[in-house]
Amino acid sequence: MDYSKLSDQEINKLVAFALGCKEVVPDIFMDDVRRYEFDKPKNKSGNKFYFDPCNNPADAWPIISKHQISMCAYERANSGMKRESWWEADVFADFITRDDNPLRAAMIAFLKMQESANVPANSTGSDIR
């Protein structure tokens, strides 16, 4: 899946589902531990159920830590070239993801890792890893 084409909200939802969240009734998402909401709170007091790991370190860090996702900032400023900077996230050099937002990059790396875990080793069904 090309996660770069998805909105933060779509990625947040996929991350929640990968963590075990299920839609119990329309627009109510829960797992054994918490309730998840994906629409931005309309007031300053916020919403204690709002889940936004693409932008909120409090939501992202437990995932980053548990799955040992590393993040690194890069900058390229070669003479004659446009100055660029970006973040990359990976899991032991696999699932490398580049994005301007480090938390979003980490969540995409997490989703790629989950995707890979759900793919059989080969099409014959035998696992030769």
Q: What is the pTM of this model?
A: 0.77
* CATH number of domain containing 106: 3.30.2120.10
| Residue 15 vs residues 9, 20, 75, 86: alpha-carbon distances, Å | 10, 9, 28, 22
The answer to the question of residue 26 being in a domain is yes
pLDDT at position 42, please? 66
Q: How many domains does the chain have?
A: 1
Mean pLDDT by 10 residues, the chain (129 residues): 94 93 83 80 69 94 93 80 77 82 94 82 48
Within a domain: 89: yes
Residues spanned by the domain of 93? 3-40+48-117
pLDDT digits 0-9 by tens, 84-111: 787 878 777 778 888 889 999 999 999 9
Q: Tell me whether residue 110 is in a domain.
A: yes
Pick from 15, 113, 23: which is nearest to 56 by CA?
A: 15
* Residue 123 belongs to some domain of the structure: no
